[in-house]
């Protein structure tokens, strides 16, 4: 998605060897016009697929998923990371390791909002090691729902998440894939096509 | 907002004395069509106000804020609750007590995304004791920005948050105000008008 790559190149900030900060437009401050273009692009790529629910995980996936959901006419469910007295007791739960936060946490979805009738599109802002995606895939599996595909805004192609998902035969659509970071500049790769990709 | 009150009455679940669960449509699973009506209603109520940014707090405020932002044509900034290696070091920070989670936490906004030029609308899903709202108001104050108003989806009128905000002279627009919960049914009050309300 050229508009997105352009924006990442212009406004993304490289920190250290492998961190790309896009918090001016994607995951702290959010450019809603850009999010709408991202939502349209997800719809274009998954057009014709039988999707009745979008699953994401708090926090930075939520805005992207909600804007995208408008183009699919489906509800969004977000997996919760934090303990809350208000969450149902009956939940699907999966353990996720966060490299950004250097700790394990559990993600949870109430059993009320995901079941074997659902055809799920997972959406998230970043795919790096794939831990959050694997946790959501695990929850979809526990629910007996059908995983239609995964839509990612920025994939770090030099980390293992994309490979893990594609090798699992899951359709993955990443709108921008970063191949490498060299001398503070971000190099994008062409899209990788998994077996299930069209 | 009648559509919202109707939905709360039909699909909200009362737990114990004072918890209203609306996680089937607002803050775990999200009905995006309803969120659009909520966004339009915020725009109707704050129409003509000079707003250039919407501030919310993760996680459940984000979806509501992003959908609403489409009607204001402004970006959203969400305050972060969790520690992250990726957050800027220069932040506005405020301590918030969560009754739901029974603990204190800090909310943070990077200084890059809020400054004295900003005219801010705060949006959140719930207003109860007003701790999260007070934290966001504190951050707006620290930034030297102008707080135009606060838009809340569901205010618990029997708790102190609304009173605190109205007495501070801040314009508060709550789309549904729950006056009390009796025998598992939710009773709404008429809208309270603060001094600054139109």
Q: Does A95 touch chain B (CB under 8 A)?
A: no
pLDDT of chain A, 198 residues: tens digit per residue:
999 999 999 999 999 888 999 999 999 999 999 999 999 999 999 999 999 999 999 999 999 999 999 999 999 999 999 766 667 789 999 999 887 778 899 999 999 999 999 999 999 999 999 999 999 999 999 999 999 999 999 999 999 999 999 999 999 999 999 999 998 899 999 755 543 443
Is this complex scored with an ipTM above 0.85? yes
Identify which of A24, A59, A76 has the shortest CB distance to residue B32: A76
pLDDT of chain B, 198 residues: tens digit per residue:
999 999 999 999 999 888 999 999 999 999 999 999 999 999 999 999 999 999 999 999 999 999 999 999 999 999 999 766 667 789 999 999 887 778 899 999 999 999 999 999 999 999 999 999 999 999 999 999 999 999 999 999 999 999 999 999 999 999 999 999 998 899 999 755 543 443
CA distances from B117 to B92, B123, B142, B146, B171 (A): 16, 19, 12, 8, 19
pLDDT of residue A85: 67
Q: What is the pTM of this model?
A: 0.94
Report how far residue B104's alpha carbon sits from residue A10's, in angstroms, rounded to the nearest whole number. 37
Q: In chain A, which residues have their Cβ closer than 8 Å to the Cβ of B80?
A: 28, 59
Q: Does A103 touch chain B (CB under 8 A)?
A: no
Instruction: Say if the Cβ atoms of B67 and A62 lie within 8 Å.
Output: no
Q: Which residues of B107-136 are buried (b: 16+ CB within 10 A; e: fewer)?
A: bbbbeebbeeebbbbbbbbbbbbbbbbbbb
Q: What's the sign of the alpha-carbon dihedral B29, B34, B35, B38?
A: negative
Q: Does B102 touch chain A (CB under 8 A)?
A: yes
Which residues does residue B120 pair with via DSSP β-bridges, in sequence order? Answer: B53, B147
Report how far residue A142's alpha carbon sits from residue A116's, in angstroms, rounded to the nearest whole number. 9
Q: Does B122 touch chain A (CB under 8 A)?
A: no
Report how far residue B94's alpha carbon sits from residue B112's, in angstroms, rounded to the nearest whole number. 16
Do the beta carbons of residue A107 and residue A82 sit within 8 Å? Answer: no
Identify which of B28, B69, B110 has the shortest CB distance to residue A32: B69
Do the beta carbons of residue A30 and residue B75 sit within 8 Å? Answer: yes
């Amino acid at each position: 998605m050229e508009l997105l790559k352009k924006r990442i190149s212009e406004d993304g900030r490289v920190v250290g060897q492998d961190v790309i900060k896009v918090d001016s437009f994607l995951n702290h401050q959010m450019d809603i016009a850009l999010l709408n273009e991202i939502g349209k692009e997800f719809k274009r790529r998954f057009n014709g697929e039988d999707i009745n629910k979008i699953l994401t995980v708090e926090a930075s996936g939520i805005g992207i998923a909600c804007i995208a959901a408008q183009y699919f006419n489906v509800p969004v469910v977000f997996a919760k990371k934090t303990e809350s007295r208000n969450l149902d007791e009956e939940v699907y739960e999966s353990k996720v390791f966060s490299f950004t936060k250097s700790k394990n946490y559990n993600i949870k979805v109430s059993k009320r909002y995901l079941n074997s009738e659902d055809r799920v599109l997972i959406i998230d802002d970043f795919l790096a090691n794939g831990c959050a995606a694997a946790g959501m895939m695990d929850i979809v599996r526990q629910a007996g729902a059908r995983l239609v595909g995964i839509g990612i805004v920025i994939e770090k192609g030099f980390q293992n998440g994309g490979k893990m998902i594609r090798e699992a035969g899951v359709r993955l659509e990443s709108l921008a894939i970063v191949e490498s970071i060299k001398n503070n500049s971000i190099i994008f790769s062409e899209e990788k096509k998994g077996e299930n990709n069209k």
